[in-house]
Amino acid sequence: MDGDLLKTLILLGALLFGSPLYAAQLNLELGANSRTWQTEELLKHPQVQTITINDDVSYKRSMSYRAVPLAALLNGIKPGDHLQAVALDGFAAELDAAPLLTAKGARAWLAIEDPAKPWPALSAGKPSAGPFYLVWTDPQAGNISPEQWPFQVAGIKRLAPVAERFPALLPDPALKADDPVNLGFASFQKNCLACHRLNGAGDAQVGPDLNIPFNPTEYFAADFLKRYIRDPQSLRQWPQAKMPGFSAAVLPDADLQRLVGYLKHMAGRKVKP
């Protein structure tokens, strides 16, 4: 049967028999506790509730969602584990498990888009943040970065830590653990790796590589690079820009300085993919 015809028949069947359109599935790759959740199952989860997010990172306003505490879905995951949330557009958020499991302070929730009550578009000509969106209540309590709010989530995986998977990202091993460059590497993982690769290393498919062929510290004057990170549109304006600005509340000045220091350090450690 022709593929387009089959899709048409499925849609007509959904309309005739009342099945929800565009219901999605969330793939959790958690080892022995792996599971696939359907939208309908999550909306009926025993812990689902309506939550309000003030100043939502993606919608830039207050939003209400039907959501489940993410910890309730992460069976078998321990605080020391490492997870990756993968979005439909190639965004790959690297997430330490500990903040996702806590019920105090900053708390992680999986917001579920009901096909019968779709969320608004993120902007003109774009889809919504659905089908699944990782949101946080009281994010300030955990210094949660915008990159820790992945939307259009398709799956969550348990993986080895970034440093083990991508040695090309590592600073000089001779540096001490508390060296500013290593602290900058931690900021890079939290704030940049969801969209960017470096030395070809990483899983993201959204932004450009930050070291090959050139590192931004090689073509941005230091003050302008910091300004770009704080407010990308203040230096380069275009309607389809995706990079968010990182305010001082999210990325304090000291952390920003260390992040730029890590990038400058890695300009001397180029590894071609």
State how many domains the chain has: 2
Domain annotation covers residue 3: no
Q: Which of 159, 192, 223 is the last residue of a domain?
A: 159
Q: Which of 103, 136, 159 is the last residue of a domain?
A: 159
Confidence of residue 246 (pLDDT cuts 50, 70, 90): confident
Domain annotation covers residue 8: no
Confidence of residue 239 (pLDDT cuts 50, 70, 90): low
- 92 and 151 in a common domain: yes
The residue-averaged pLDDT of 198-213 equals 91
DSSP letters along 196-265, please? --BTTBSS--SS--SSSS--HHHHS-HHHHHHHHH-GGGT---TT--PPP--TTTS-HHHHHHHHHHHHH
The torsion defined by the Cα of 113, 195, 184 and 162, in degrees rounded to 10, comes to 80
Share the mean pLDDT of the chain. Answer: 88
pLDDT digits (tens, 9 = 90+) for 117-144: 999 999 888 899 999 999 999 998 888 8
Q: Is the pTM of this model over 0.85?
A: no
Domain annotation covers residue 114: yes
Which CATH number covers residue 87?
3.90.420.10
Domain annotation covers residue 238: yes
Domain annotation covers residue 183: yes
- 171 and 155 in a common domain: no
- 45 and 124 in a common domain: yes
Q: Measured on CA atoms in the order 138, 143, 147, 150, is the torsion positive or negative?
A: negative
- 178 and 250 in a common domain: yes
- 203 and 129 in a common domain: no
Q: State how far the Cα of 92 lies from the Cα of 210, in Å rounded to an integer.
A: 16
- 36 and 81 in a common domain: yes
- 247 and 155 in a common domain: no
pLDDT at 65 over 80: yes
- 26 and 97 in a common domain: yes
- Domain range enclosing 119: 21-159
